[in-house]
A = this chain, B = another copy of it.
Amino acid sequence: MLKGNMLIGQSGGPTAVINQSLVGAILEARKHDAITGILGARHGIVGIMNEDFIDLTTQSEAQLEDVARTPAAALGSVRLKPGKAECKRVFEVFKKHNIRYFFYIGGNDSAETAYIIAEMAKEEHYDFCTIHLPKTIDNDLKVTDHCPGFASAAKFVALAFIGDDRDNAALGGVKINVVMGRDAGFLTAASALARQAEGQGPHLIYVPESTFNIVEFQRDVKTMIEKYGRCVIAVSEGIIDANGDPIMTSGEKDSHGNLQLSGTGALGDFLSNKVKEGLADDSVRVRADTFGYLQRSFPGVISDVDAKEARDVGTFGVNHAVNKGDAGSVSIRRLSSQPYESECFITPLSTVAREATSLNAEYIAASGHDVTQAWLDYLKPLVGDLPRIGTL
């Protein structure tokens, strides 16, 4: 049995349940003699390079349970995707601190980092096990049925649309809500859960997987106003035109070379103006909100299934590492939707690293501006019960 220290880190955008995976891994690790020490890297890969560690063997269970219930990333996160030289440095640190188990909680970029390090260890015949623990509100990791973090963000979005649709019903007009999800429309599509009766919004749903056309958009809004006297719109921050170019960005790029889409109200204001232009009717109230970072770190409305699965992923990952010893990414397999049942399994790092997935075609309605029943069937058990909407 591989014996030595364990290191765990968190990477990428926070989620409401990423700390469940962290705590699941820590508590499981404490049970195994193979793991001699448990270290946490502050701000992921950057903390490793700087040997900025925190000892995770001393905290009480009560403190860890508070951490588990707290959103965002308790160890600190990072947006850096390390190059070859940085991975080499990481590997030096691992050897220096006798790190034999490495757990990296993150998305596909983190899986790639884990993969590169695992390959380095193999080359140098350093006995070592790397496990990627999945998280992303975008739900865009390959292999897994869904990603820890997504369902809680989806619940937030569904609740936000329930409330906002009632708000719009009360005051009328057009309301545009910009939802997170750079390349994948999963989270935007979750807005459809808000509908409990005919006529309730969102009335239009635009995801990056369908080409967005301004003229069609203006026409769609007009149609909904004629039909319902109002219109609530869910639109992904990542919608693209026929050339594949983002409709609107603030022009700033992060260290992954990705355009900054969140933390700005630009797309909402742009679409708002387009709606006003299209309607050419000043009496129609048009408003836009950008849900922003609230979607991924809101503490009040975490999905029970999501919290449990995020915890399970951490527990399962450590267990697998100690007992099997081979590198991999923890994935979730859905066993049944009614009643909902799932299990964890290990998939090779290469199957999750780098490339992401997006909303399946079967989940997008033929109109291109709605979702299908199959999507709701997939999503509902993950999010759980939502409040019943009362109307007069």
Contacts and interface: CB of A to CB of B under 8 A. Distances in A.
Interface of A: 10, 13-14, 16, 19, 40, 43, 54, 56, 59, 63-79, 155-156, 159-160, 162-164, 166-167, 169-171, 175, 250, 262-266, 268-269, 272, 286-294, 296-301, 387-392
Contact of A391 (B67, B159, B289): B67
A174 B298 CA distance: 18
A292 B389 CA distance: 21
A179 to B, nearest CB: 12
A156 B63 CA distance: 25
A90 B263 CA distance: 46
Contacts of A392: 40, 54, 56, 59, 67, 74-75
Nearest to A10: B170
Copies of this chain, tallied across the complex: 2
A147 to B, nearest CB: 18
A390 B160 contact: no
Given A163-B297, A264-B288, A290-B289, A390 B170 contact: no
Given A13-B171, A265-B290, 14 more contacts: A14-B166, A14-B167, A71-B167, A73-B166, A78-B171, A159-B298, A159-B300, A160-B298, A167-B296, A264-B269, A264-B287, A265-B269, A287-B292, A287-B293
Contacts of A169: 72, 76
The 6 closest A-B pairs by CB, nearest first: A265-B265, A263-B287, A66-B390, A72-B166, A289-B292, A67-B390
